[in-house]
Amino acid sequence: MEDYLVRMENIYKSFPGGVQANRGITLEVRPGEIHCLLGENGAGKTVLMSILYGLYKPDSGTIYYKGKKLDIHSTKDAIANRIGMVHQHFMLVPTLTVAENVVLGQYPAWKVINDMDKVHERIRAMSDEFGLDVDPAKIVQDLSVGEQQRVEILKALYHGADLLILDEPTAVLTPQESEHLLKFLRDLANRGLTIIFITHKLEEVMQVSDRVTVLRDGKVVGTVNTSDTNPRELARMMVGREVLMELKKAQTEPGKVIFLVRNLRVKDARGLEVVRGVSFEVREREVLGIAGVSGNGQTELALALAGLIEGEFDEMRLDGQLITKRDLQRLHRLGMAHIPEDRQKMGLILPFSVAENFVLKTYRDEPFARRGFLRFDAIRDYTRSQVSKFSIRVGDIEEEIAHLSGGNQQKVVVARELDRQPRFLLVNQPTRGIDIGATEFVRQQILAERDAGAAILLISADLEEIFALSDRILVMFEGRFMGEVPPDPALIEQVGLMMAGKTVQVSD
């Protein structure tokens, strides 16, 4: 254990239902280094770190920390041992102030809280020292995502963390914010803090880490020095085979306008206008990408276009036909297909079987039904053919779709929507939370659909995805488009600024 701050030895952890998240993982982290934990979703990274942070108890295995065996039974023990964690979903109470969140759980229950002035002062001092720009008096729900993340980091530092764990911290940030965060972390490491950085993004690993441990299916594939490796090798370690790093995108000539909307305005569930008058058109054989940080109105935009919530607009046309009111049946008939943002809540009915999910939109029609009765043979045959055509990994087509992995679930949605050969395909966050293999597959399908003549609207917070698939890119910020750019990788910087709300002149 000589020069290790943490050594997790032979960690096993399984969950009820038989998921084996960690299968004998050994991880060593040196003091003062930034150590990346790289792996696909479901590789066991978050579970491993949750064990270190006291959220889960391992089935077996030992943890050594600062040269001693460490028994952690709760997060309280972790905090007492100066381990801090910034979770992917922030662990902040939205209705409390920053300062209240920082001291939450730190006092005995009967204590009257009368030292908040001192807490505020200390937070301000730390905020200045680390350049975090955090106001202790603000209510957390009024802060932007980036600010909330800085509060999380400050919370860990306030509790005196020597080891800071960050779980996919850049997933919610603009490129500039990410850049800033990575620099900040390097700063912290230089001050002697040890950082474990969970990610599945290769560029980040290369940019920020000293060493990297790759996990796959709950096991360690290997630990390497970042300077001795490259993205291609890391990707191979992560996936277990060669990965196509770049998609082949054929040149196409866009045809006539398939979908257009003028001055669309949409309110969110709270009644606030979150899409504030946007207009665009999508043509045949074209992918129009909408970039932006999540939460800038993309969700509502997609729902309104798909006819799932009300929106106001001056004009909307699909395949030349005027759309005047919310009518899903008609949109469907005119050839709209929708791959929704949240497959588990909208795209699929989780307790239903794979076969049932495949015919969710067509079960009333021949050949799946006749005279009001379902024809199970036809449904099963169809499902089997689709499953093999799209190589979806299922045990049995009658099993609950909830048991499938995220990637395979998404493949079901994509297969179902594309089977109808849509004129207009609305795709929102098609590869979020799925593994590299499935991502590659879904992206290829989208491009194939484009080449076959569909008009495609792609909404994604993943800039790399937007640039890889789109023919034109619109950048969305606070419900408006900041401008249009071609998918030229040289323009990523500008797009990032536009995502943060800056007006940028882009010369074509």
Partner 1 sequence: MELMPALLFLQSMLAATWRMATPIIYAAVGEVFTERSGVLNIGLEGIMLIGAFAGYSVAYETGNLVLGLLAALVSGLLSGLIFAIFTVSVKANQIVVGAAFNMIGMGLSAFLYRTIYSQSGRVLSLQPFRPLDIPGLSDIPFLGEVLFRHNIMVYGTVVLVVLAAFVLYRTAFGLSLRSVGEHPKAADTTGINVPATRYVGVLIGAVLAALGGASLTLAYSDQFVEGIVTGRGFIALAVVVFGAWSPWGAFWASLLFGSFYALQLRLQAMPEVLIPYQFLQALPYLATLVVLISLTRRARAPRALGVPYP
Cβ of residue 42: shortest distance to partner 1, in angstroms? 20
**Based on CB atoms, which residue is closest to partner 1, 110 or 373?**
110
Rule CB under 8 A: is residue 17 a binding residue for partner 1? no
Closest CA to 151 of 194, 108, 97: 97
The rounded distance, in Å, linking the Cα atoms of 214 and 115 is: 45
**Residue closer to partner 1, measured from CB, 108 or 351:** 108
Q: Does 53 bind partner 1 (CB under 8 A)?
A: yes
Site for partner 1 in 93-152 (CB under 8 A): 93-96, 100-101, 103-114
Name which position in 91, 328, 402, 452 contacts partner 1 (CB under 8 A): 91
User: Judged by CB under 8 A, does residue 15 bind partner 1?
Assistant: no
Per CB under 8 A, does 88 bind partner 1? no
Between 75 and 223, name the residue whose CB sits nearer to partner 1.
Answer: 75
Residue 50 and residue 3 in contact, taking contact as beta carbons nearer than 8 Å: no
Please count the other Cβ atoms lying within 10 Å of the Cβ belonging to residue 15: 11
Q: Which of 38, 40, 63, 90 binds partner 1 (CB under 8 A)?
A: 90
The verdict on 85 binding partner 1 (CB under 8 A) reads: yes
Binder among 52, 63, 70, 92 for partner 1 (CB under 8 A) = 92
Please tell me whether residue 291 adopts helix, strand or coil conformation.
strand
Count of other CB atoms within 10 angstroms of residue 49: 22
Nearest to 430 by CA among 442, 422, 440: 442
Structural element, H or E, at residue 225: strand 219-225
Nearest in space to 35 (alpha carbons), one of 148, 203, 186, 175: 186
Compute the C-alpha angle 356/361/362, nearest 5°.
85
Give the shortest CB-116-to-partner 1 separation in angstroms.
10
Binding mask 54-83 for partner 1 (x = CB under 8 A): -x------------------xxx--x----
Tokens read off for 36 = 């990346």
- What is the C-alpha separation between 6 and 81, in angstroms, rounded? 12
Q: Which residue has the tokens 């290997």?
A: 222
Question: How many residues make contact with partner 1 (CB under 8 A)?
Answer: 29
The binding track of 234-253 with respect to partner 1, each residue x by CB under 8 A or -, is --------------------
Q: Yes or no: say if 467 and 473 are a contact pair by the CB < 8 Å rule.
A: yes
Closer CB to partner 1, 113 or 245, in the complex = 113
**Residues 360-419 contacting partner 1, CB under 8 A:** none
Please give the residue ranges that form the binding site for partner 1 (CB under 8 A): 53, 55, 74-76, 79, 85, 87, 90-96, 100-101, 103-114
